[in-house]
């Protein structure tokens, strides 16, 4: 017998300004680490006014995490210290493993609507110093499975027999973009050992077996069970589902760097100061 996961927590997030002046909603953050482990942070963007985001996120470091940026619509130019340059466009994703250290910039370009999100996925202690890597998962690499009233984009992991372009190299994760027509139901078997949460991008609907109609722009953490279930309201619903096994390791978080101990954080900031943050053959991890 299967158990449908109930709602454990609904998170609305707080409007914030980050980078050089980008207005976003910080949906989950450090106060949520215990509940959402292995997921650290979720920032959501939804704006029709380029003034909200055009100043972007100029050059800044990351270590110890993966940053996953997914755009339903809009355009973000990217560059990093590995020499990568690229643009995330409609329906595309950028999966960046910061590992031992990367310096990058993320610069949204003016578009009719910028709608998307950035997720921070933690790295296990043993992989904090893995080699940094950048993956451009453009929209044509993300399979979209069309079913009765539901279309599922597989960004990471599997949906049934359909594999996404990555499975998560460090934390095996699932990330699905689920577009639901009005009144449709989506059910997904989920590993009971995994943390599962969704972010409602648009529309509204009911999650679990409850009857509360949940509006867009909120995250819902699911409780224990082995099936995720949602039913779209009268305007349909679009959600992104995230699942992954918790790390249950200590978290030492300083801005863009997430390690396990305060000493590792101090080391990272000292290296930024003295110019040894980026690993090279002359400066190995
Ligand atoms: Fe960044």
Whether 167 shows a pLDDT value over 80: the answer reads: yes
Asked if residue 1 is part of any domain, the answer here is no
Q: What percent of the chain has pLDDT over 70?
A: 100
Asked if residue 178 is part of any domain, the answer here is yes
- For residue 15, give the 3-state DSSP assignment: strand
pLDDT tier, 197 (very low <50, low <70, confident <90, very high otherwise): very high
Lookup: tokens for 284: 């190995």
172 and 235 together in one domain: yes
Asked if residue 58 is part of any domain, the answer here is yes
Overall average pLDDT of the 188-208 stretch: 97
137 and 18 together in one domain: yes
Whether 1 shows a pLDDT value over 80: the answer reads: no
pLDDT tier, 210 (very low <50, low <70, confident <90, very high otherwise): confident
Count of structural domains within the chain: 2
Helix ranges, 61-146 (H): none
126 and 185 together in one domain: no
29 and 108 together in one domain: yes
Overall average pLDDT of the 127-146 stretch: 97
Instruction: Report the separation in Å between the CA atom of 120 and the middle of ligand 1, taken as the mean of its atom positions.
Output: 9
19 and 69 together in one domain: yes
Instruction: Report the separation in Å between the CA atom of 241 and the middle of ligand 1, taken as the mean of its atom positions.
Output: 22
N-term to C-term CA, the chain: 48
129 and 186 together in one domain: no
Asked if residue 267 is part of any domain, the answer here is no
Instruction: Report the separation in Å between the CA atom of 127 and the middle of ligand 1, taken as the mean of its atom positions.
Output: 19
Instruction: Report the separation in Å between the CA atom of 271 and the middle of ligand 1, taken as the mean of its atom positions.
Output: 18
Asked if residue 274 is part of any domain, the answer here is no
For the stretch 126-143, what's the b/e string if a residue is b when 16 or more beta carbons lie within 10 angstroms of its beta carbon? ebbbbebebbbbbeeebe
Domain boundary, last residue among 78, 108, 141:
141
Lookup: tokens for 176: 């699905």
The enclosing domain of 120 has a CATH number of: 2.60.120.10
CB 206 within 8 Å of CB 163: no
Compute the half-sphere exposure of residue 68: CA atoms within 13 Å on the CB side of its CA.
Answer: 23
Instruction: Report the separation in Å between the CA atom of 211 and the middle of ligand 1, taken as the mean of its atom positions.
Output: 38
Instruction: Report the separation in Å between the CA atom of 1 and the middle of ligand 1, taken as the mean of its atom positions.
Output: 43
Number of other CB atoms surrounding residue 243 within 10 Å: 22
127 and 23 together in one domain: yes
Instruction: Report the separation in Å between the CA atom of 96 and the middle of ligand 1, taken as the mean of its atom positions.
Output: 9
pLDDT digits (tens, 9 = 90+) for 86-135: 999 999 999 999 999 999 999 999 999 999 999 999 999 999 999 999 99
150 and 130 together in one domain: no
pLDDT digits (tens, 9 = 90+) for 227-278: 999 999 999 999 999 999 999 999 999 999 999 999 999 999 999 999 999 9
Residue 124, C-beta contacts closer than 8 angstroms, at least 6 positions apart: 170, 171, 247, 249
98 and 154 together in one domain: no
Instruction: Report the separation in Å between the CA atom of 227 and the middle of ligand 1, taken as the mean of its atom positions.
Output: 33
Q: Identify which has the larger pLDDT, 33 or 280.
A: 33
pLDDT digits (tens, 9 = 90+) for 46-73: 999 999 999 999 999 999 999 999 999 9
Mean pLDDT of the residues in the chain: 96
Q: Which domain holds residue 206?
A: 143-248
Asked if residue 280 is part of any domain, the answer here is no
Q: What's the confidence (pLDDT) of residue 24?
A: 95
Instruction: Report the separation in Å between the CA atom of 157 and the middle of ligand 1, taken as the mean of its atom positions.
Output: 23
Instruction: Report the separation in Å between the CA atom of 243 and the middle of ligand 1, taken as the mean of its atom positions.
Output: 22
Asked if residue 216 is part of any domain, the answer here is yes
Domain boundary, last residue among 141, 175, 203:
141
76 and 166 together in one domain: no
Whether 160 shows a pLDDT value over 90: the answer reads: yes
Instruction: Report the separation in Å between the CA atom of 259 and the middle of ligand 1, taken as the mean of its atom positions.
Output: 16
Whether 284 shows a pLDDT value over 90: the answer reads: no
- Single out the residue of 47, 52, 89, 85 nearest to residue 70, CA to CA: 89
Asked if residue 9 is part of any domain, the answer here is no
pLDDT tier, 217 (very low <50, low <70, confident <90, very high otherwise): very high
Q: What's the confidence (pLDDT) of residue 285?
A: 76
């Amino acid at each position: 017998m299967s158990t449908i996961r109930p709602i454990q927590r609904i998170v609305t997030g707080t409007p914030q300004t980050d980078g050089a002046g980008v207005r976003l909603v910080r949906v989950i953050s450090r106060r949520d680490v215990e509940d959402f482990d292995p997921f650290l942070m979720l920032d959501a963007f939804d704006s029709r006014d380029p003034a909200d985001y055009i100043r972007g996120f100029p050059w800044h470091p990351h270590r110890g995490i993966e940053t996953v940026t997914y755009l339903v619509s809009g355009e973000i130019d990217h560059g990093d210290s590995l020499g990568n340059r690229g643009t995330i466009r409609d329906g595309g994703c950028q999966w960046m493993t910061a590992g031992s250290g990367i310096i990058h910039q993320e610069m949204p370009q003016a578009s009719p609507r910028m709608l998307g999100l950035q997720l921070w996925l933690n790295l296990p202690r043993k992989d904090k110093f893995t080699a940094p890597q950048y993956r451009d998962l453009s929209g044509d690499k993300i399979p979209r499975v069309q079913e009765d009233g539901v279309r599922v984009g597989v960004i990471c992991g599997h949906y049934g027999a359909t594999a996404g372009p990555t499975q998560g190299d460090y934390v095996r994760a699932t990330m699905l973009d689920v577009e639901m027509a009005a009144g449709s139901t989506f059910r997904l078997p989920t590993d009971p050992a995994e943390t599962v949460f969704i972010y409602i991008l648009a529309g509204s609907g009911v999650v679990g077996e409850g009857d509360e109609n949940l509006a867009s722009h909120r995250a819902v953490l699911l409780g224990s069970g082995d099936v995720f279930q949602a039913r779209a309201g009268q305007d349909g619903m679009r959600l992104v589902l995230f699942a992954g096994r918790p790390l249950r390791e200590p978290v030492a978080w300083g801005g863009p760097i997430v390690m396990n101990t305060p000493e590792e954080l101090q080391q990272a900031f000292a290296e930024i100061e003295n110019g040894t943050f980026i690993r090279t053959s002359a400066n190995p991890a």
